[in-house]
Structures are given as C-alpha cells and as structure tokens.
C-alpha cells in the first residue's frame, strides 16, 4: 500500500515560494492552482488585475513544476463546469484519490469560510499558516480589540520594538533618531523644478494575450483598459527587480513626496512610490524582506536615504499593512455591512470611464482605469474624499475599489475604504473623516491649474465642487463631529459664516449631489 495522497490548494494570492510546504518533494503530494470563474465574479474586476493574477499563478505553477513538485494547473477552460471552489476541490480530490486535503489560511473572510465549511467525505482536512505576515494570526487579538478604535501609532510602535526595526535601544523602547514618526516631513508637494527628477517607472512587458482570449471566451465581465502586455511583476524575479529599482530610485525621496500628486510628468502615475503592493499581496515578496531591503539601503547610503524617507516607507508596511489586516479579521463579517453615516447615493458613471470635468478626478480615475493603480493619496484624498463628500453608498465604493486596483484583496481594501476613506465604520480605523476642500488638492497637486472649475470659488457654475461639498458635509454631520478635537478649527470657521452664506453653500452642494453625473 502506498502513502495516502494529499491535495494542497494554492490560492491566487498565496504565491509564496519560501513556504515550508516546498522544502521537499513528494510523489504523494499534489498542488492545485486554478483559475476559477468564482474569483472573477464576486465583484467586477479591472481586466489588468485578472490578467496579473492569472499570469502570476501560471508562473508560480511552472516554477513549482521545475522544482520537482507535482502541480495541477487548471485554466478557465478546465474549470468552467465548476460553480464554486468547494465543488472543484471535491472533484479533484476524487479524481486523484486523495485522502487528505491541506490549505493555507485564506486572507479573505469569504474564502476562509468556504474552506472551513468544505464538506469532504472520508478525507481529512488541515489548515496551515501562510507564513507571510509579520504579526502571527493567532496573536492579532493581543494587539487589536474588536469594535473599538485601536490607535495605529501604538500598534506600530509595538511592532517596531518587537522586531527591532529602526530602534536606537529596543530594551529602552527608544526609536532611532529620537522620534517614532516622521509624518510631518512626508507631506511636501512637487514644485516645478522637482518634476524633472521624478524617476522613470520600472515596468514589465508580460504577455497576457492568451489570458485575454480565455476571459473573452468565458464571458468574464471586466472593466478598465485592456493591454496585451501588462506592466506588473508576475514572478519572483521581476518582483525583486522592482524592489531593487525602488530602493535605488524611489526610496531616497519617497517619504518627502509620498503625498504629492502631479499631471505634468510622463511618470506621474508612479512618482516615488514602490508599486510593490501587488507583489507583496500575492506573496511573491515577503513584507519583512521588503522592510529589510529598505533599512539595509538606508544604513549603507545614509547620505542618499534619510531616516525620514525610510521610516515613512517602513510605517506603510510594518505599521499600516499589518494594522489593517488585524482590524479586518477582528471585525469581520459585520465590518463589511457598516454604514455609520447612512450614505446612499449611487456611484457616478465617470468612475467607469473618467469622463468628468473635475480634473483631479479625471486624472485619478483615468490613471486607475489605465493602470489598475493609483497611489494612496489619489485613492484617499481625491477619489475617496469625493465619495465621502457626496454620500456614495459604501457598498458601491467598496466594490469599485476592490475591483479596480491590481493590489486590492478584501482584507486590505475593506479597512482602507469603508474605514479610513469613508468613515462608514464609525471611527474603528480613523479618528476623523478624511475630507478636504479644493485648497488641499491645490496644495498637494498641480491638478487645479488645468481644471475648468475655480479652486477658490464655493458656489456658482465655475466653483470647484469640492468646496461646497466639503462645507455641506461638515454641516450635515455637525452633531457627530463638532467636538472632535481634530475638527474644531474647521467648525469654528463654519460657525462664523452668515446664515445667508451657509444656505447658498448647502443649496449649491445639494444641486451638485443631485447632478453628480454631470460634474
């Protein structure tokens, strides 16, 4: 009698070549990687996102095969008869006469539920850790309380100390440079003479023409700009190349310009950002690998990379990325139903085509549709700000963000969108709603210089919509936010206005909300 055969499932965001699963080969272990209609249909996805996932999965399957593992890679052609992941697993277990099924913990609640509830007759089942995140899953509850606001800064400092990252004295809890956070130095706009120094984006030419044909053949509904060659890394080698490029050209100015936006550079879409999020989120790179690369470069070239640059980058991964994952798991499944501000308006049509006269929105939406990517300030302070000010239903905002961005997986998208961006969670993530008028957009970008709307006008046909919408939002939610310490200054300004001016602003904002598709 031979050994019992084991089927191991690898999901599309579990492409971790360093996982302990792969330390030895066995004739009795079969790895399953599958394109599945279920995963293209839970929201409408950007076509480049689907292509990037499928090509990365295919590349990983080939790498495992070349390393001597038994791999079953199924395309949409092979899985078209299966309505769900459980149905596919049951059939493959039967086909290969497997007596054991193993899977890594899914990062999305819906998939973890499917796998936990999977009925397998006479087949044992075991769940493994993905061996990817910095904070172990079983320890999340020690750091994050459910249904409470948990301060990011406290979470971040604990992990800095625990893993001895950028610490002068870990035992004494003293950070390098005498301060934990250099956020105040991370908010510089790009001036005219800065534009010529923006680094050229590192991109790839990965052929996805066969995948495009499959998507068309199986009627997969997508949106965004289709390209036969996509710019995203789809294997480990390319991911490391992108990391090296960022460390060399992006990190020296990353912190300084991480909140800046421009439309006056051919590389305006990438700027100094790493664009490593897709590679990290599908686990072709590990977060600690990326952090260590950045810190090592800072240590080696302190004259080029200042502490403020590297700390700003480390904070995004060690702090924010780990934090939102912890918030997600401590508050699901109810988190995705929260709508504290009772937003109810539908998403405007230009979210699907970028045809709007608001230049900041046209730029940010257009870039999202062209590249399946926008950096965090475009996502939060342009697109998200607009959705919050206009009261778009968070279900629709979530679905769009989850579908449009190549790096969007629900565990990271949901707290960022429903929490940080839309305040629909009532403050579990953010201490205040992230709203801003045209003044902020004008300060942090050059978008307003090419817009037909006037940045300083609050009412009238030529007034920037963000102005009246901003004050209208504050007015509408005054009872909830007027005592928030971070918003008292703005409410003081609002309260000084005459009733006539307030009425004009309210009426203009209501007109804009009623005519959202015409803006």
Cα 437 to Cα 382: distance, rounded to the nearest angstrom: 10
Average pLDDT, the chain: 96
Q: What is the CA radius of gyration of the chain?
A: 24
Q: What percent of the chain has pLDDT over 70?
A: 99
- Residues ≥6 apart with Cβ < 8 Å to 208: 51, 52, 54, 55, 227, 228, 229, 230
pLDDT, position 2 = 53
Cα 306 to Cα 255: distance, rounded to the nearest angstrom: 9
Cα 355 to Cα 365: distance, rounded to the nearest angstrom: 9
User: pLDDT grade, residue 287 (50/70/90)?
Assistant: very high
Contact present, 89 and 7 (Cβ < 8 Å): yes
Angle at 418 between CA 415 and CA 423, to 5 degrees: 110
pLDDT, position 484 = 95
Q: What is the pLDDT of residues 55-89, one digit of tens each?
A: 999 999 999 999 999 999 999 999 999 989 999 99
In the chain, the domains with their CATH numbers are: 5-128 (3.40.50.620), 139-315 (1.25.40.80), 349-518 (1.10.579.10)
Question: Does the pLDDT value for residue 493 go beyond 70?
Answer: yes
Q: What is the pLDDT of residues 227-245, one digit of tens each?
A: 999 999 999 999 999 999 9
Question: Does the pLDDT value for residue 1 go beyond 60?
Answer: no
Cα 327 to Cα 413: distance, rounded to the nearest angstrom: 11
């Amino acid at each position: 009698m031979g050994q019992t055969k084991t089927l191991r499932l690898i999901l599309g965001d579990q492409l971790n070549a360093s996982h302990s699963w792969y330390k030895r080969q066995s004739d009795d272990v079969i790895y399953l990687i599958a394109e599945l209609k279920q995963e293209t249909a839970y929201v409408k996805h950007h076509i480049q996102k689907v292509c990037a996932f499928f090509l990365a999965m295919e590349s990983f399957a080939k790498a495992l095969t070349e390393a001597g593992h038994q791999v079953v890679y199924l395309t949409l052609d092979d899985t078209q008869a299966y309505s769900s992941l459980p149905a596919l697993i049951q059939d493959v277990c039967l086909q290969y006469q497997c007596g054991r099924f193993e899977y890594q913990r899914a990062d999305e609640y819906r998939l973890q539920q499917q796998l936990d509830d999977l009925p397998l007759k006479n087949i044992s089942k075991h769940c493994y850790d993905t061996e990817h995140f910095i904070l172990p899953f079983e320890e999340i509850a020690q750091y994050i309380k459910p249904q409470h606001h948990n301060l990011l800064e406290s979470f971040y400092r604990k992990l800095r100390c625990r893993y001895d990252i950028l610490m002068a004295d870990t035992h004494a809890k003293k950070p390098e440079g005498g301060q934990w956070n250099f956020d105040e130095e991370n908010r510089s706009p790009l001036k005219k003479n800065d534009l010529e120094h923006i680094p050229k984006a590192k991109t790839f030419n990965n052929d996805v023409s066969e995948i495009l044909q499959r998507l068309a053949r199986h009627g997969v509904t997508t949106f965004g700009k289709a390209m036969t060659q996509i710019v995203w890394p789809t294997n480990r080698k390319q991911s490391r190349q992108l990391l090296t490029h960022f460390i060399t050209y992006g990190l020296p100015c990353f912190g300084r310009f991480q909140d800046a936006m421009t439309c006056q550079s051919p590389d305006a879409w990438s700027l100094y950002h790493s664009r490593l999020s897709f590679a990290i989120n599908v686990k072709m790179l590990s977060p600690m690998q990326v952090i260590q690369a950045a810190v090592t470069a800072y240590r080696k070239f302190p004259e080029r990379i200042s502490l403020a640059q590297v700390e700003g980058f480390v904070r995004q991964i060690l702090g924010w990325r780990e934090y939102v994952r912890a918030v997600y798991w401590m508050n699901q499944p109810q988190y995705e139903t929260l709508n504290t501000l009772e937003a109810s308006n539908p998403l405007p049509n230009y979210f699907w085509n970028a045809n709007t006269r608001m230049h900041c929105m046209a730029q940010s939406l257009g870039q999202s549709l062209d590249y399946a990517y926008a950096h965090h300030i475009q996502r939060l302070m342009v697109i998200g700000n607009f959705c919050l000010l206009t009261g778009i239903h968070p279900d629709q905002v979530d679905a769009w963000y989850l579908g449009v961005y190549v790096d969007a997986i629900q565990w990271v998208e949901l707290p960022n969108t429903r929490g940080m961006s839309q305040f629909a969670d009532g403050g579990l993530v953010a201490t205040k709603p992230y709203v801003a008028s045209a003044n902020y957009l004008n300060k942090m970008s050059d978008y307003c210089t090419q817009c037909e709307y006037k940045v300083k006008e609050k009412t009238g046909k030529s007034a920037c919509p963000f102005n009246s919408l901003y004050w209208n939002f504050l007015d509408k939610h005054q009872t909830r936010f007027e005592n928030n310490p971070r918003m008292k200054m703005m409410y003081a300004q609002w309260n000084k206005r005459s009733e006539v001016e307030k009425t004009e602003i309210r009426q203009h904002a209501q007109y804009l909300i009623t005519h959202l598709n015409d803006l």
